[in-house]
């Protein structure tokens, strides 16, 4: 069984890019939240207290697959005796392969095998622990869950992947208490990224120079926040 989510491949990709960009700018003030959103090669990951997830993008083939784990989901009890690939039963084989090679590898957990009291402990079993999934077929997005169960089992809690860009702008401005100058910076970086999927050279001088219109007065190139900002920008393909 599969259920269509009312979003497209481009919608999901742009939402992930926007959240990662906004988080990078937020790192300037709050570097301790830097791990909440990250990119590694083709994988976008988010990591909150009880909710983690990774979406793998195959841009040349315009394909994605996402795996999410919500620790408060009752599905956690299925593991380790459940194979997470069963959540992708309705997906094409190419999606299953992409999930196993990429997204699932970010959600591995170890479990100690049960043994008799007189036996030596056995090595832990490590399996991907996932409570819901989503994937693309053409430009359409599907899940193993309908909307209610998708959200119940962790979908969109940390990634905000089903939000529009306009909704994300409101969410991030409220969530990170961005000033208008910071929001302009986020939107500027997002536009630059959307115009190119290759390395992007960005001039941030206008956001650092005190006599500039968009001046952000706390940017310190020697701070941990600036270092985390640069790390996040590099993950997104920016050269600063």
**Is there a domain that residue 229 lies in?**
no
**Is there a domain that residue 232 lies in?**
no
- Domain count along the chain: 1
Distances (CA, A) of 185 to 52, 54, 103, 137, 178: 27, 26, 30, 34, 10
pLDDT of residue 205: 58
**Is there a domain that residue 206 lies in?**
no
**Is there a domain that residue 205 lies in?**
no
Neighbours of 205 (CB within 10 A): 8
Taking the C-alpha atoms of residue 156 and residue 178, their distance in angstroms, rounded to an integer, is 22
pLDDT of residue 49: 80
Is-contact 89 135, C-beta < 8 A? no
**Residue-number span of the structural domain to which 141 is assigned:** 3-187
**Is there a domain that residue 235 lies in?**
no
End-to-end CA distance of the chain: 46
Strands 200-201 and 132-137: unpaired
Which residue, 63, 188, 235, is CA-closest to 138? 63
Q: How many H helices and E strands in the chain?
A: 6, 11
pLDDT of residue 115: 58
**Is there a domain that residue 208 lies in?**
no
Average pLDDT, 10 consecutive residues per value, the chain (240 residues): 94 95 89 82 90 95 96 93 96 97 95 66 84 96 95 81 93 89 89 78 60 56 83 84
Taking the C-alpha atoms of residue 109 and residue 176, their distance in angstroms, rounded to an integer, is 31
**Is there a domain that residue 179 lies in?**
yes
**Is there a domain that residue 107 lies in?**
yes
């Amino acid at each position: 069984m599969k259920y269509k989510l009312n979003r497209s491949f481009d919608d999901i990709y742009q939402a992930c890019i926007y959240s990662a960009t906004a988080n990078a700018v937020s790192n300037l003030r709050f570097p301790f939240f830097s791990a909440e959103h990250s990119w590694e090669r083709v994988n976008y990951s988010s990591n909150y207290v009880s909710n983690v997830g990774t979406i793998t993008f195959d841009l040349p083939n315009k394909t994605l697959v996402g795996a999410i784990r919500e620790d408060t989901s009752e599905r956690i009890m299925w593991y380790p005796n459940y194979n997470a690939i069963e959540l992708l039963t309705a997906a094409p084989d190419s999606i299953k392969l992409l999930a196993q090679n990429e997204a699932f590898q970010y959600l591995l957990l170890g479990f100690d095998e049960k043994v008799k009291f007189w036996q030596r402990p056995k090595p832990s079993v490590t399996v991907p622990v996932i409570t819901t999934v989503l994937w693309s077929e053409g430009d359409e997005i599907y899940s193993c869950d309908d909307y209610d169960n998708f959200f119940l089992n962790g979908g969109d809690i940390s990634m905000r992947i089903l939000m529009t860009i306009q909704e994300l702008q409101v969410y991030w401005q409220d969530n990170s208490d961005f000033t208008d100058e910071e929001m302009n910076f986020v939107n500027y970086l997002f536009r630059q990224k959307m115009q190119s999927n290759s390395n992007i050279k960005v001039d941030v001088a206008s956001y650092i120079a005190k006599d500039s219109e968009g001046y952000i007065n706390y940017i310190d190139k020697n701070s941990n926040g600036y270092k985390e900002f640069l790390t996040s920008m590099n993950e997104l393909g920016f050269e600063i």
